[in-house]
Structure 1
């Protein structure tokens, strides 16, 4: 977060620096928007659908009593969580797809692709020149996009296991368990990145790599030069800290 703030302030210049209360307000609103859109909204809609089938979840039910009992004991308990999960995935993929049409975001995704190519080249032991780096793939197993998708998928599994909850507890659980789920997502990505030679792991990470097709673009040579210079500066900084 500090690096993103520094980058934004560098881009806007001294006269438009964002710091202090405006900075924290912006970060807070952005975080609240993200949690609200991608977690609370799907949870609320899923809870509403669940309430149509399972009275204990907060609804009165819309089915005749015999049918209601059958649905509640068999599939009704999972309907709301299924709806919530589908909405989460649709919002995540749809949001990334939609912002990808913005010119500035397209350019950002180009730099994202340049970053991946640079890291892939470095890990392969290749020479870090634009011409050499350009030959490497856009996807990378430890990408932040992979974290987002993994977090959403983990949340679907965990919240489904919790079963039906009253609406208030349903929404609170989505907020309170978010740091725990984020930690599991990070460890999962780290584990898969350390076992890429395993065919099962290669199959497991396919969804994450596929989503990166939305968040990366083929970079031009200037973007590759920037990515290489940034990567080398980062390595020098890490070396000086040790």
Structure 2
């Protein structure tokens, strides 16, 4: 049965994943499973129960939950990425920061490395893609008098920088393989959603693009930020920094709810197509067609997180 034939029998699922170093992490409603292709060719799978970091009910409310889900996902993602790197120690050596943290925190060093990595990743992302474009666009304030247009220029620069960054890293050999694993993750989720048996042949025919991808989430953040920031005009640089940092949780929350809406939507419509289109364009860079061995890894991870009690997902 083809993807087109199955279009009316799509299972709505919240199962998602992340590409790792020669591996895939899949996150289901109750479990996380990480499958790694070891250097000797064997697939090893590590499985664990989901233990949310942020548990208060208020942090699970719509819009508010977006930022906390993002941080939780980043922490789990870095943790599994470090695990996958352990199998390729000769190629992925510790840097100076890791060595310093191990010296200071000793037996708790791994946890410290995870949290510091997430903090640095957020700092880098906010600095380059949120604050940086604002300072660049400020050079045009004497030419462009309309504050909405200034915010639009800032947004275009922001999206341009992100796409350029993704494009440049896609040329690195190691990243090319990660993006191939990313494609295998999406294909496998599509296969499960279309209720087909998880085999290499079935998985292969599906698209590498998926509406609930983290890439689409990031693109939505960049686009929604244009609208949100426009409500505050174009104040002085210090106030712009304060406003952009203060509204980031709202922007992340709105982006998360959009991704969740698309994931639960029963059928494609003009609105969902508009939401997913920009993300799909960037996903054409961040995902590639995988080989069969990569699909096998994605299937191995996916099979461990599928609910066994018939209760499919917790949205």
**Paired position in structure 1 for 2:120:** 29
Q: 1:153 Cα deviation (Å)? A: 0.4
The equivalent of 2:290 in structure 1 is 219
Q: Which one has the bigger strand percentage? A: 2
> Structure 1: 5+ residue runs without aligned partners?
54-70
Distance 2:170 2:204 in 1: 21
**Aligned residue number for residue 77 of structure 2:** 4
**Alignment root-mean-square deviation, CA:** 2.5
With over 3 angstroms needed to count, the CA separation of the structure-2 counterparts of 1:216 and 1:79, relative to structure 1, is: same
- TM-superposed CA distance for 1:10, in Å, is 2.0
* CA distance in structure 2 between the aligned counterparts of 1:238 and 1:169, rounded to whole angstroms: 52
CA distance in 2, matches of 1:19, 1:10: 10
Contact 1:138/1:216 (8 A) holds in 2? yes
- How many residues are treated as equivalent by the alignment? 220
- Asked if 1:43 corresponds to 2:134, the answer is yes
Structure 2 unaligned residues grouped into runs of 5+: 1-73, 99-108
1:1-242 paired onto structure 2 within 5 Å: 1-13=74-86, 19-50=110-141, 52-53=142-143, 72=145, 76-195=146-265, 197-204=267-274, 205-235=276-306
| Whole-angstrom CA distance in 2 between matches of 1:47 and 1:207 | 26
1:169-225 deviation digits (Å, cap 9, x = unpaired): 101111111111101001011112333624313431222222210110000011000
More helix per residue: 1
User: d(CA) in 2 for partners of 1:78 and 1:149?
Assistant: 20
Highest RCO, 1 vs 2 (Cα 8 Å, sep ≥ 6): 2
Conserved? CA contact 2:191–2:203, under 8 Å = yes
**Alpha-carbon distance in structure 2 between the residues aligned to 1:33 and 1:154:** 20
Give the alignment's TM-score, normalised by structure 1.
0.82
| Partners of 1:195 and 1:201 within 8 A in 2 | no
SS at match of 2:306: helix
TM-score, normalisation: structure 2: 0.64
- SS of residue paired to 1:172: helix
Cα distance between partner residues in 1 of 2:309 and 2:178: 25
Q: Secondary structure at the match of 1:13?
A: helix
Q: Deviations over 1:24-81 (max 9, x none)?
A: 333322221111000010111223322x25xxxxxxxxxxxxxxxxx74xxx223321
